[in-house]
Amino acid sequence: MNSNPAPWWRGAVFYQVYPRSFSDSNGDGEGDLVGIIKRLDYLVSLSVDAIWLSPFYKSPLADGGYDVSDPRSVDPRFGTLEDFRNLIQESHALGLRVVVDIVPNHFSSEHPWFQQALNSAVGSKERARFHFRDGSGADGATPPNNWLSVFGGRAWTQVQERDGSVGQWYLHVFDASQPDLNWDNPEVRADFEETLRFWLDLGVDGFRIDVAHGMYKDPTFADHPDPQGLAEAIRLDLVDDEESLDGNTKVLRELIQTAPYFDRDEVHGVYREWRKVLDSYSHDPVTVAEAWVYPPARAARYVREDELSQIFNFEFLVAPWKANAIKRAIQSTLNSMAEVGASATWVLSNHDSPRVVSRLGERRARAMALIAQALPGSLYVFQGEELGLPDAQIPDSARQDPVWFRTEGEQLGRDGCRVPLPWLEQGDSFGFASAESGFEGAQPQAPWLPQPSDWGRYSVATQVTHEDSFLWLYRRALGIRRQHPALGWRQGDFTFLESAPEGVVAFRRDPRFVCIANTNAQSSRVTLNGPVLLIASAGDVQIDGDLVTLPPDTTAWFEVGS
């Protein structure tokens, strides 16, 4: 038997901080690292184990910082390296681990490498770090192939050559300001290993890997048979709420599997190399892959024993509020992860997807949260999810997401879930700026994305005074999750209660824990023995002997006999 204790991350709760929108210490309208430090106590009070920081590296922020121009630095808008050191130190002192993003598919076009490539000749070693190709047609004005950007428009942009000759084209699967790196180039591989070590040496506890299924391309660069359909399928995948794996979803996912720039086998070689780097550190850093790949067996390949630790579970994230779909997402996740000995992750929202409350409605979002928090594995909570924030309406003139610009307004993009958090009921920024919250700081400028005028009712200050608030549900449930011996990660202790009626998701975790979710529009009855602990997402749960009646759209947790 393996006597090693399970690594810390297998059952951990990760709280995703989107630094630009979390807490603004200097009043410039954008959040920053010092702002996060000031709010660490809040995260402790939520019983989370780790924070994952979306990028805070030097960047023109054309794609919210996922366009990195210096991966081993802090952008002055977010603070300094010294601030980051303090953040690590103070987090660790409070028992919070810190995970950071790494963005290997592309750099920002402002990265010195890309600037050098633009200034260098066709065929130079500077160009060989990216994917530069000649165009076709007499004047080279037709892109090298028909691939389209995931964000809309072409995946190629033509450059101007300094000597006046016909310009080459470079590949960008995302925005034109995000040129794709050439992972066949050893310089690229070496540079990312240096980045891993740089942050690990500063004490980070792991990495979230952006577009972890990207990096390698079909080396033939052949045309795709349906580039438009493919790009739309990839965009829609984020917002799909059809019954999973039925009809449209299945077609979309099959199309995604044909992407010539995603999920190529070569990428696994990189993760095996990275793993060696990570294993040379003794604090057991975690790696979590952002990889929208299908079918689940392909996803499991990223978390084989000698590769990454975890992969985000997007099937669960997009599952509609239907018992069968939820059960299917849970079962397929557990099966595919068990095949490679990995633990599952449960995610309800992130900075790329509609907020849960906007997707499901508030009552169901509460109920879904209690399901997610009771499942075996680790949990990712996106900032503001614990406040029940909906997506904000953004005036078109304020939008920032490249998806909005590149689809020419056809897709609104992701700004709605990225609006700065409300900490106070009142104030020009609802306490997002430190000065308003009673910390020191300059008189604030307006937040970088406008907060809706009713944002105060979702604020932390308002919710802490109401025990039936969203925030209290999260606090209580995460508190129980941390204490209860059945919750978090335990291998092989999960069973669906097959006796549950139609429309009810019920499962048992040992010892003595049962979670029941009623997705029906009417009350449902379930037989249980000996409820002690009871926490419900909404409504009145009635208990009559061993008969439990659950109102519609409600989840409840029970402690039962053995």
Residues at the contact surface with ligand NOJ, assessed by CB under 6 A: 63-64, 66, 103, 174, 210-211, 290, 351-352
User: 178 or 336, CB closer to ligand NOJ?
Assistant: 178
Using N-to-C axis directions, what is the helix angle for 470-483 and 362-374, rounded to 10°? 10
Of 67, 75, 126, 210, the active-site residue reads: 210
User: 18 or 513, CB closer to ligand NOJ?
Assistant: 18
CA distance readout (Å), 330 to 88, 312, 361: 34, 13, 21
Residue that the structure tokens 């393996």 belong to: 2
Structure tokens at 34: 């010092």
Q: Is 126 a known active-site residue?
A: no
User: 312 or 430, CB closer to ligand NOJ?
Assistant: 312
User: 403 or 435, CB closer to ligand NOJ?
Assistant: 403
When computed from its CA atoms, the radius of gyration of the chain, rounded to whole angstroms, is 24
Q: Which of 474, 544, 553 shows the shortest CA–CA distance to 517?
A: 553
Q: Which of 145, 34, 13 shows the shortest CA–CA distance to 90?
A: 34
Q: How far apart, in whole angstroms, are the C-alpha atoms of residue 450 and residue 543?
A: 45
Structure tokens at 389: 């924030």
Of 290, 307, 315, 386, the active-site residue reads: 290
User: 22 or 66, CB closer to ligand NOJ?
Assistant: 66
Beta bridge partners of 13: 379
User: 174 or 294, CB closer to ligand NOJ?
Assistant: 174
Spatial contact of 529 and 546, defined as CB atoms under 8 Å apart: yes
Burial of 230 (0-12, 13-18, 19+ CB in 10 A): buried
Point out the residue whose Cβ comes nearest to ligand NOJ: 66
- Sequence letter at residue 189: R
Half-sphere exposure of 128 (CA within 13 A, CB side): 8
Vertex 346: Cα angle to 342 and 348 (nearest 5): 155
CA distance readout (Å), 246 to 63, 102, 250, 324, 328: 32, 34, 6, 12, 12
Question: Strand 206-209 relative to strand 524-527: parallel, antiparallel, unpaired?
Answer: unpaired
Q: Is 290 a known active-site residue?
A: yes
User: 87 or 150, CB closer to ligand NOJ?
Assistant: 150
Structure tokens at 381: 């909570």
Catalytic residue set: 210, 290
